[in-house]
Amino acid sequence: MTLKEVQEQIIEEFEIYEDWMDKYNYLIELSQGLPALDHKYKTREYIIDGCQSKVWLYAEMDGNIIRYTADSDAIITKGIVALLIKVMSGRSPEEIKDADLFFIDRIGLKDNLSPTRANGLFSMVKQMKLYALAYFTKQQKL
C-alpha cells in the first residue's frame, strides 16, 4: 500500500465511529496491538520530550526501509503512536521525510497532534522524519 492508500484506509476505518468514545475505544484497541518495544530502548536516549505522557521511539534500517518501534505510558497516546507507525514504518527514508500526513486532520486528531499541545506526539512525527532525513542523507553519501 502506498502512503496515501494506508492513510485513506485509516480515515475509512474511523468514519464508522460517529461517537468520540468509540473513536477512543478504537485507539485503546490499537494500542494493545502495537508490537512491543525492546526494553533496552526504553531509556532517556529514546524518549521524545513531551509534557505529560512519555513516548519512546526507536528506528532502524532494514534493507532500504526504516522500521519504527515505539511505546508510551499513556494508552490513548500509544494508540495514536500505533497509527503513526502503521503509516510510516516500512517505507523508504525518502518517502518518510517528505510524508504528508493528511489523515491526522481527517480523523479528528488534530488537537492531539498540534504543535501547541503539551505532549510528545507532534515531536514524535518530527522525530520520525528526522530519523528518515538522517538515513536519507547517509544513503546519498554512499
Residues recognised as catalytic: 51
Q: Give CA separation, 67 vs 13, 25, 53, 109, in Å.
A: 23, 26, 23, 24
Complex with other proteins: residue 52 or 139, whichever CB lies closer: 52
Query: Using CA atoms, how far apart are residues 134 and 16, in angstroms rounded to an integer?
Result: 38
DSSP β-bridge partners for residue 60: 67
The correct pick among 6, 9, 11, 24 for binding other proteins (CB under 8 A) is: 24
DSSP state of 17: -
DSSP per-residue codes, 81-116: HHHHHHHHTTB-HHHHHT---THHHHTT-HHHH-TT
Whose grid coordinates read 486528531?
109
Residues in contact with other proteins, shown as a per-residue x/- string from 78 to 117 under the rule CB under 8 A: ----------------------------------x-----
For other proteins, the closer of residues 24 and 41 by Cβ is 24
- What is the residue-wise DSSP string for 66-79? EEEEEEESSHHHHH
49 binds other proteins (CB under 8 A): no
**Piece of the chain touching other proteins by CB under 8 A; list 7-15, 67-75, 123-131, 133-141:** 67-75
**Is position 142 an interface residue for other proteins (rule: CB under 8 A)?**
no
Q: Is 52 in the site for other proteins (CB under 8 A)?
A: yes
The reply on whether position 26 binds other proteins by CB under 8 A is no
Cβ distance to other proteins smaller for residue 99 or 104: 104
Residue of 25, 43, 114, 139 interacting with other proteins (CB under 8 A): 25
